[in-house]
Amino acid sequence: MFITFEGTEGSGKTTQINHLANKLSDACYSVQNTREPGGSNIGDQIREILLSPANEKLSATSELLLYAASRAQHVREIIIPALKNGKIVISDRFSDATVAYQGYGRNLDLVLINHLNQIATDGLAPDLTFLLNLPVEIGLQRASISRGKLDRIERESLEFHERVQDGYLAIAKEDTNRIKIIDATQPIDVIFNEIWSILKVKISLIKVNHDH
């Protein structure tokens, strides 16, 4: 099973992923926790380029291609082998992020992005995606408090982050079966209980399908 978490900056993805990975491990599932950009050694090197505030000159097109390159490596080196080994893979961001950030945020062509995602993922799509929905100002505030500094993308304008947020909501509307919107203004444990109850249903559905 392949689960992804999406949302704007500081929406609580890392916090929820850590809780979820612990809960699944306690329930004797084998879990692979990963993230984008990065996830693989080569992907982590690409991540450095993408997030370094020093790389102000990085063009929108170069940025798009680097996210795709990181994903292509991540899928082939980490995600597919883990799924083949029967693990539950949880990724902090995946292809929806490119649609939201480079498509809606940077206004790059959505048809091109979908095609590029298809190539990068080799057609792999998550079984379930949690979209943590939080007003962007709150998220940016949380991110800057927790890390003390903002990366290259976080330094973008509020309008940019608002376009990303709108993008995520538009993507979620198109695929309500896969993408579950979670109100991320709630306390951490309330959010987690919501995620866990959705996931339990999904796991039992997958088990039923598998048994038949």
SS3 58: coil
Angle between helices 13-26 and 188-211 (to 10 degrees): 50
Residue 43 makes contact with ligand Z5A by CB under 6 A = no
SS3 106: coil
Residues 100-129 that bind ligand Z5A (CB under 6 A): 101-102
Q: Which stretch binds ligand Z5A (CB under 6 A): 24-32, 173-181, 187-195, 196-204?
A: 187-195
| CA distance to 22, 28, 59, 87, per residue, from 81 (Å) | 21, 19, 33, 9
Q: Which stretch binds ligand Z5A (CB under 6 A): 5-13, 52-60, 107-115, 173-181?
A: 5-13
CB of 132 to ligand Z5A, least distance (A): 7
Beta strands (DSSP E) in the chain are: 2-7, 31-35, 88-92, 128-133, 179-183
Q: Which of 90, 143, 171, 172 binds ligand Z5A (CB under 6 A)?
A: 143
Residues that bind ligand Z5A (CB under 6 A): 7, 9-15, 35-37, 67, 92-93, 97-98, 101-102, 142-143, 146, 151, 153-154, 184, 187-188, 191
